[in-house]
Amino acid sequence: MTYEAMDVQENLLRNDAEILEDTVTAFRSGSNMPARKRLYPVSPCDSCAAHKKAICSSLEGQALDRFRTKGRTRIIKVGEPLFFESEDIRYFYTVISGEVRLCNILEDGRRQVVGFRSCGDKVGEHFGGKYLYDAEAVCDTIVCQFPVRELEMQMQQSPEMRAKLMKIMQEEISELQQHTILLGRKTPIEKIATFLKNRASKLNLVGEENIEISLSMGRSDIADYLGLTVETVSRTISKLKAEKVIDVPSAHAVVVRDIQQLAVLADGKK
């Protein structure tokens, strides 16, 4: 079994399956199903791993309930698209589990992965008419899908949601600017080290030893994210392994043995 399959399955076992079940039945049955509803008195959002980080966390009570009923949970298989660049914007998404890559493509096929989105992250624009990138699942992925007009409606009513969305946009800008210096000025070692360091720090395990990072995406996604070729990604990971900074138990998992050294390498201090 692959690591990403394990990931998805584990998540499914924990709570996504219930959320999904819940949501799907809710939609199938329409809104008027009090008996069924009493069986699920707890909002699915309460048990959702993505909720506290996601946009919907800015809503509460009735507003949240209303918003939820406008959404739909979807399973996206590896490689399948959520939407394509320059398609009309109709929905935006919150990733529940799995991971999505955002890509820009040049006519001759060259590709740049603009970013990855995982649990709790927003995918998709809500402004300007057209999407800015292709969004595709890098492994089996579960998302919540909401119509953008619903978002706009909520935004008018909820200052909290406005603030949340602005915060998310600001974080996107900050992340893109950081990525800009990586792409323009860093060496392959620094790029890979930065990438792994950032993934590690997302797990909130700072201070711990042997942090295990799962890489749901393939080498070519990493390459296109860091502005490298697959070969260079592979060689560089091998180098870090040889220097005992990381272990690579499988192609889709990395164990950070020396996070200190990884951080040093990430900014080229050595």
Residues found near its own copies in the complex (CB under 8 A)? 104, 106-108, 110-112, 114, 125, 127-128, 132-133, 156, 159, 162, 165-167, 169-170, 172-174, 176-181, 183-186, 224, 226-227, 267-269
- CA distances 116 to 99, 148, 149, 171, Å, are 7, 21, 24, 13
CA distance 149 to 92: 10
Tell me: does residue 9 bind DNA (CB under 7 A): no
29 versus 250: smaller Cβ distance to DNA: 250
Under the binding rule (CB under 7 A), the answer on residue 39 touching DNA is: no
Backbone angles phi, psi at 205, to 5 degrees: -120, 25
User: Hey, what amino acid is at 187?
Assistant: T
Stretch that binds DNA, among 25-33, 38-46, 64-72, 217-225 (CB under 7 A): 217-225
Greatest alpha-carbon pair distance for the chain in Å reads: 65
Tell me the closest approach of the beta carbon of residue 102 to its own copies, in angstroms.
Answer: 8
Among 5, 13, 176, 203, binds DNA (CB under 7 A): 5
Q: Is residue 1 within the footprint of DNA (CB under 7 A)?
A: yes
Number of residues located near DNA, criterion CB under 7 A: 23
Query: Encoding tokens for residue 32?
Result: 């008027």
Q: Which residue has the tokens 């070969």?
A: 231
147: partner contacted, choices DNA, its own copies, none (Cβ within 5-8 A by kind): none
Closest CA to 54 of 159, 156, 145: 145
Residue 231 or residue 267: which is nearer to DNA going by CB? Answer: 231
Interface residue with DNA among 86, 180, 187, 210 (CB under 7 A) is: 187
Residue 235, binding choice from its own copies, DNA, none, Cβ under 5 to 8 Å by partner class: DNA
83-122 residues near DNA, rule: CB under 7 A:
none
Phi, psi of 247 (to 5 degrees): -115, 155
Note whether 231 binds DNA by CB under 7 A: yes
Q: Least distance in Å: CB of 2 to its own copies?
A: 27
| Residue closer to its own copies, measured from CB, 38 or 110 | 110
As a whole number of angstroms, the distance between CA 270 and CA 266 comes to 10
Q: Is 43 in the site for DNA (CB under 7 A)?
A: no
Give me the long-range contacts of 171-175 (CB less than 8 A, separation at least 24).
172/115, 175/115
CA torsion angle 140 254 123 142 (round to 10): 30
> What is the spatial distance between Cα 160 and Cα 259, in angstroms, rounded to a whole number?
36
Interface with DNA, residue 147, by CB under 7 A: no
Q: Does 181 bind DNA (CB under 7 A)?
A: no
Integer angstrom CA distances of residue 108 from 50, 75, 79, 115, 242? 37, 31, 20, 21, 36
Rounded to the nearest angstrom, the gap between the alpha carbon of residue 136 and the centroid of all alpha carbons in its chain is: 11
Closest distance of CB 115 from its own copies, Å? 8
- Interface residues with DNA (CB under 7 A) are 1-2, 5, 187-188, 218-220, 227-235, 237-238, 248, 250-252
